[in-house]
Each structure stands twice: as C-alpha cells, then as structure tokens.
Homo-oligomer: A and B are copies of this chain.
C-alpha cells in the first residue's frame, strides 16, 4: 500500500531543478586594458530536468567548472552551458556568477574602484545572457564655492545596470557611460524649478541614465535601478526598455 502511494506521489512531485550554489571559485574575466583580470566569484549552476528524471550527479557541476579552469566570461558562457546541458541530460542549463571587478575609473581620479558584477546565462533552445553592473554614484556638489563645501556629495547611492547585448560591450565602457552621466550631466541645481523640490532623486537619475543608455544600439534590453542611500533609508526607482530575447 505504502509503495503505491509513494509511486503516485513521485509521479506528481517531480524535481523541477537541481544544482549547486554559492561556490567560491577563482575566475578569470576579460579586461579591456590588461586582457584578463583574475578575481574571485560566487558561482551558482543548475539545470531544469525532464519529467521523471531519476536524479543527477551533483559533482558533475564542479567537474565542468574545473574543466574550464575558471575561465568564465562572455565568450565561454555558451560552451559551459552546452556542456552542462549535455552532461546532465537537462532541458535547460543556467549559470550565475557574481564577482568584484576592479577598474581605475577616470571619473574616480583613476583610483582602483570595485564594481560588483553578476552574469546570468541560460540555454534552453536559445542562449540568453544578462550582465548586471553596480556603479556607485557620488554626485558633485553643483555650486562652486570657496566656503569649504565638499566637491562631491559622497556615497549618494548606486545604479544597477542590468542588460542584454546585441553586440559585445566592454564593462569598462558601460561604467564610463554611467559615470559620465552621474559625474557631469546631472543638471540638478539649474533644472530645479522650485527650490523646495528635492534636487536629486532616484527617479530623476534613473530617467537620466535611461535617456543616455537607450541611445546605445548595442543594447537590446536594459533595466536600470537607481538607489538613493543618502536619507537613512533606501529609496529606489526602476526604468526599463527594449525587448527580451525569445526563449527565456
């Protein structure tokens, strides 16, 4: 009796996905100036299994990671996902990697700045790849004074740029596009019609970034969330445009 119950249940309750999570792993990513950059990532890998699949060998995820020697970037993502799909006999394969990327940004006095990056690739029939970069925002104080005002408003907040490519874009270029807007183009003091209006808001910067990045034809889809951390609590605004790829 129990066995029949168990069989019925197991027909109903199928495993939807399996994988590995939060694996700390040294990786090599593409770097515009130095060709490659070594950093340390948190890696998630998982697959969607066909119905009635009997189980999988979790160790194969790690084997695939080792096979690629941590050489993980926009170019190798597709091959890693194909290997996952084949070796695990899966309907769809997914990989997410989160890592700090270091870049001497011209907008930050060429200091080494850490940018938090996430890549999410998936492969069912077609590929899908999104890249997310978090760029700190330190808006300049708009009024030139000799009264001891600081030059910048400090760590005002962050912009999270999540996008899909039509053509490859260097992360450095994305960072520069964002920092050009937040360092130079915010015309918040002049544009403010009423002095009582809060001069800088997450909504306005999200729109300003959206205006700028939506002109770039290498981007097929983009979501920008700007977060204002300067008030003791966090407020945010999200803009989005473009078309998502078909099969994700």
Contacts and interface: CB of A to CB of B under 8 A. Distances in A.
Interface of A: 6, 9-10, 12-26, 37-40, 46, 55-56, 58, 62, 66, 100, 102, 108, 111-114, 136, 138, 141-143, 145-150, 152-156, 188-192, 195, 197-203, 206-207, 210-211, 214, 223, 227, 229-241
Contacts of A237: 15, 17-18
Contact of A203 (B15, B102, B153, B190): B15
Given A153-B153, A231-B155, A203 B55 contact: yes
A19 B149 contact: no
A238 B17 CA distance: 5
Given A239-B13, A239-B16, A148 B195 contact: yes
A26 B102 CA distance: 8
Contact of A155 (B15, B23, B232): B232
Looking at chain A's contact residues, the main secondary structure is mixed
A201 B211 CA distance: 36
Given A9-B214, A15-B207, A150-B153, 14 more contacts: A13-B214, A15-B239, A18-B235, A18-B237, A20-B236, A24-B102, A24-B114, A55-B203, A143-B149, A148-B190, A148-B191, A150-B200, A153-B153, A155-B229
Contacts of A150: 153, 198-200, 230
A82 B153 CA distance: 34
A21 B154 contact: no
A145 to B, nearest CB: 6
A108 B149 contact: no
Contacts of A203: 15, 18, 55-56
A94 B225 CA distance: 16
